[in-house]
A and B are shown apart, each in its own frame.
Chain A
Amino acid sequence: MNINATLIGQSIAFIVFVLFCMKYVWPHLLGAIEERQKKIADGLAASDRAEKDLELAQKKATEQMKEAKAQAADIIEQAKKRATQIVDEETQRGHEERAKIIDQGKAEVEAERNRVKEELRKQVATLAVVGAERILAREIDSAAHSDIVEKLVTEL
């Protein structure tokens, strides 16, 4: 085979190519690849984290929802209880009020009746006296028989 000066030329070309590749090609490409790898790994980790966060948040939300529902039910229950209580109390009070008013009315009626009775008695007494006076004016003077009239008045 013919080995000749081409060998030298090829060797020089080879060395130059390797040096160029070493200086201007390899570090740039590999650097970019490694940096991108890191970026992708970071992104994947972040998405993983976000997914976990989301899951956690959802769990928390459902928990809070449940709690809120329970609270609401509690509050409604309490309100109902309170309402019946208030109704009861009011009925009670109403009954009492009614009884009181009725009592008062009765007392007033009683008093009125007593007063009217008294007046009637007085009027009857005076009527009786007037009657008696009229009768007596014909027969006797009033002074002599007033004690009998008095006695009649008290008996009425």
Chain B
Amino acid sequence: MAASGGELTGSQYILHHLTNAKMCSTDTGLAFNKACADSGFWVWHIDTLGWSIALGILFLAIFRSAAKKADTGVPGKFQCFIEMIVEFVNDTVNSTFHGRNPVIAPLALTIFMWVLLMNIMDIIPIDWLPATAGLIGASFFGMDSHDVYMKVVPTTDLNLTFALSIGVFVLMIYYSFKVKGFGFVKELSMNPFNHWAFIPVNLVLELVTLFAKPLSLALRLFGNLYAAELIFILIAMVGLFQLPLHFIWATFHILVIPLQAFIFMMLSIVYLSMAHEKH
């Protein structure tokens, strides 16, 4: 249960765990959390941003240090591990994408490692970081610890998954036009019924297909991690029995974490390679 502060009801506890820390600017300066209820779009989830950027920098720092040390000699264990990941991503890209594009492989590596690290945050016992944040908020900023929100798994925030999938989507559109030019428009309007009279029908069908790609990409990752997080929270509420249950679910979740990262990477590669193919 929540580690600090007074009593929370079950639903309050769940809600507390599933609410992002918000920041927005109002007329009186920066405002946080509940004060941002009326700010509409211009609200920043500082926990999602903070954790995801920190994890992204961690990923790049680890890989950059490996890249700096990379030579043709006998590699160390750390070097080997990093190179195994790189080779794994490279093989996956090469087996799916047959063109020459310097963006796709690094993109795939970034997606895979970043999503993997963010998913791994789900394994950390769910009360640790929010409770720590509540303690810090209560003792340094004089806030009620219940008003300090901290959602530590960035992939359970739709903003992040959509940012990723939109990034991939923009690249898809860009390469579709770059490779196929006007052929891309033709592909959208003359498929599946190759007749001018069906152009409106085709457009509707193909555009739905097109937009379903980033949507499904984002929602799949979000849904899996959000549900897993929710189950961790529910398990945390059952008292002493949470120990075996938590172990079982965490063990299962170890499978889900890399799987979801891999699926996101794989589908991004597939979509981008489809954008490069002429029909």
Contacts and interface: CB of A to CB of B under 8 A. Distances in A.
Interface of A: 1-11, 13-15, 17-18, 20-22, 24-26, 28-33, 35-36, 39
Interface residues of B, number: 46
Question: Which label, helix, strand, loop or mixed, suits the secondary structure of the B interface?
Answer: helix
A91 B41 CA distance: 130
B26 to A, nearest CB: 14
A50 B172 CA distance: 51
Interface string B98-118: 000011011101100010000
B107 A36 contact: no
B163 A21 contact: no
Contacts of A24: 60, 64, 67
25 contacts: A2-B158, A2-B159, A3-B158, A3-B162, A4-B43, A6-B43, A6-B44, A6-B163, A10-B163, A14-B114, A14-B164, A17-B59, A18-B107, A20-B64, A21-B60, A21-B107, A22-B106, A25-B64, A25-B109, A26-B109, A28-B70, A29-B66, A29-B83, A33-B90, A39-B72
B82 interface: yes
B160 interface: yes
Nearest to B59: A17
A7 B164 CA distance: 9
Nearest to B171: A18
A107 to B, nearest CB: 100
A24 to B, nearest CB: 6
B71 A21 contact: no
A33 B86 contact: yes
B41 A5 contact: yes
Interface in B100-149: 102-103, 105-107, 109-110, 114
Interface of B: 20, 40-45, 48-49, 52-53, 56, 59-60, 63-64, 66-68, 70-73, 75, 82-83, 86-87, 90, 102-103, 105-107, 109-110, 114, 157-160, 162-164, 166-167
Contacts of A9: 44, 49, 163
Nearest to B63: A25
B41 A10 contact: no
Nearest to A7: B159
A7 B162 contact: yes
A2 B49 contact: no
A14 B75 contact: no
Nearest to A12: B163
Contact of B56 (A4, A13, A30): A13
Contacts of B40: 4
A33 B83 contact: yes
Nearest to B74: A36
Contact of A10 (B52, B103, B109, B110): B52
A115 B187 CA distance: 148
